Amino acid sequence: MNTASSASDCVASWCADDDWCGVTCTMEVLGRKWNPVVVHRLLERDSLRFGELAEELGDVTNKVLSESLEDLEDRGVVERTVENEKPVRVRYSLTERGRSLEPVVGALEDWGEDHLADDC
């Protein structure tokens, strides 16, 4: 389980006017290990099922991916759609808010691509 916001809360007074609060705010959404990658995949593929996502990410277990998706859903970034069929099917896609992360994830990707040679 997880609460909406953990240790540092952007609404808290201690960071009210600080301009780096925006950075912290975004990191609460993208700070969890698989979150940025999940958003990245969904930006490209529009909609993916649980299994497809797991396969693309490669090294993630059901439990961890499930937690990551639940977290993103709670934060209004990802939308979960259950299709009533015999074998249950679930589609994951980005909400409007999720799609608004495109410039952020794009920047993360660009910088990373430019520095893969270095070390990472």
Partner DNA sequence: CAGTATCCACAAGGATACTG
Partner DNA sequence: CAGTATCCTTGTGGATACTG
Q: Which residues bind a second copy (CB under 8 A)?
A: 1-6, 8-12, 14-15, 18-31, 33, 36-37, 40-41, 43-44, 56-59, 75-76, 97, 100-120
Taken in order 8, 62, 105, 109, is the CA torsion positive or negative?
A: positive
Can you tell me which residue has the tokens 């691509």?
A: 113
- Of these, 12, 27, 44, 89, which contacts DNA (CB under 7 A)? 89
Cα–Cα distance between 33 and 58 in angstroms, integer?
13
Check residue 80 for interaction with DNA (CB under 7 A): yes
Q: How far is the CB of 42 from DNA (least distance, A)?
A: 13
**Rounded to a whole number, what is the distance in angstroms from the first to the last CA of the chain?**
31
Q: Which of 12, 22, 31, 45 binds DNA (CB under 7 A)?
A: 31
- To a second copy, the closest distance from the beta carbon of 48 in angstroms equals 13
Give the Cα-Cα-Cα angle 79, 101, 92 (nearest 5 degrees): 20
- 58 lines the binding site for DNA (CB under 7 A): no
Residue 49 binding DNA, by CB under 7 A: yes
Residue 120 near DNA by CB under 7 A: no
DSSP state of 13: G
Residues 6+ apart with CB under 8 A from 110: none
Q: What are phi and psi of 86, to 5 degrees?
A: -55, -70
Shorter beta-carbon distance to a second copy: residue 88 or 116: 116
Which residues form the interface with DNA (CB under 7 A)?
2, 6-8, 31-34, 49-52, 59-64, 66-70, 80, 87-90, 92
